[in-house]
Amino acid sequence: MMSTVVQPGNVMNETNTSEALCRAKTRSGKPCKRIGNSKNGRCHLHGGKSTGPKTEEGRARIATAQFKHGNRSKAAIAAQRAKAARGRAIRTELATLEALAIQDGLLPSNWRDAYRI
Ligand SMILES: [Zn+2]
């Protein structure tokens, strides 16, 4: 007769529950099939035992370690938005100048056709 005792760490028993699965990706590239914990969504093999740094120094160290290039930082995004706004202002000014030049007869209204390929 087979034993019905549930062994801790038994993958088959853990996958049959309705709890959320671990959100980690395994080395084979497939998602982990274990149950994630409620604190960080990871099983004990994928960082589930760690609940993150607690001290301010530790949090700063982790933030520094996670920083890769800064292209998505608040400062970089603000700079990109400022450049985009400047570009829109320049294009608006050029459109106004073009309309004035066409209105004054300095440019033919179909001048762009000469530059189309
Ligand atoms: Zn996992």
- Residue 43: inside a domain: yes
| Pick from 36, 32, 34, 27: nearest CA to 9 | 34
Inside any domain, residue 27: yes
Q: What is the pLDDT of residue 1?
A: 40
Do the domain assignments include residue 8?
A: no
Provide block-wise average pLDDT over 10 residues at a time, the chain (117 residues): 47 58 93 91 90 92 93 96 98 97 95 88
Which secondary-structure segment (H or E) carries 110? none
The pLDDT value given to residue 18: 61
Query: Which among 11, 9, 35 has a CA at the least distance from the CA of 23?
Result: 35
Query: 39 C-alpha vs ligand 1 centroid, how far in Å?
Result: 13
H or E stretch covering 102: helix 74-103
Let me know if residue 100 belongs to a domain: yes
Residue 2 lies in a domain: no
User: Considering the domain boundaries, does residue 4 fall inside one?
Assistant: no
Domain holding 33, by residue range, is: 15-50
Instruction: Give me the amino acid identity at 34.
Output: R
| Count of domains forming the chain | 2
Q: Assess if residue 56 is contained within a domain.
A: no
33 CA from centroid of ligand 1 (Å)? 7
